[in-house]
Amino acid sequence: MSHDPSGTPAVAAQLAGFIDRYTVELAGQIAACRAHLHLRVPSGYELVYDNYNALVFAYAPTPKPGRAELSIAAYPRWITLFFLNGATLPDPEGLLEGAGKQVRGIRLRGPEDLDMPGIGRLIGLVLASQAQAFAAAPPLQTVVKSISSRQRCRRPA
């Protein structure tokens, strides 16, 4: 049984509006990535940020953004899986991209990449580090945290 944590019809409609601005192909990939992560993160909070550059879905055991160590960001041409503390994750396969002091990401070719063993292991490490907090959290709830007044076009130029 699938669970849509969007909550109220108003939140579900708002999310649909955010996603409808993408191409049909990318909108489908966003939905598939979210569905995959909802299976991995059945409790806690899906924090949504409709930012200038991307639509972001961050997963946390509390509604506090600083606890969201795992997120996906949808850009006009791709989706990136981000790890807030990715710089400290063991990555023997060299999957993580980025050179910052904290955040690392993996540009997904499609939602099926989330099933790759190496990516699954990284997601598992992040979730295990907060296992107690997620276990104490309510069933997954979606919360729209911010909507930028100015945004780049969500479709390729």
List the structure tokens of 150: 């100015």
At 6 the pLDDT is 61
pLDDT digits (tens, 9 = 90+) for 50-76: 999 999 999 999 999 999 999 999 999
What's the count of helices (H) and strands (E) in the chain, helices before strands? 4, 6
DSSP tag of 101: S
- In angstroms, the CA 73 to CA 62 distance is 19
Q: Is the residue at 3 inside a domain?
A: no
Backbone φ and ψ for 3, nearest 5 degrees, come out as -125, 125
With a pLDDT cut of 70, the percent of the chain lying above it is 96
pLDDT digits (tens, 9 = 90+) for 114-128: 999 999 999 999 999
At 1 the pLDDT is 27
**Interhelix angle for 24-40 vs 9-20, to 10°?**
130
CA angle 121/122/128 to nearest 5° reads 85
Q: Is the residue at 14 inside a domain?
A: yes
Contact 76, 93 (CB under 8 A): no
Q: Is the residue at 157 inside a domain?
A: no
Single out the residue of 99, 107, 104, 60 nearest to residue 84, CA to CA.
104
**2 pLDDT more than 90:** no
Q: Is the residue at 152 inside a domain?
A: no
Q: Looking at the 3D structure of the chain, how many domains does it have?
A: 1
- In angstroms, the CA 6 to CA 83 distance is 23
Model-level pTM? Answer: 0.93
Residue-range definition of the domain harbouring residue 124: 9-145
Q: Is the residue at 153 inside a domain?
A: no
At 16 the pLDDT is 94
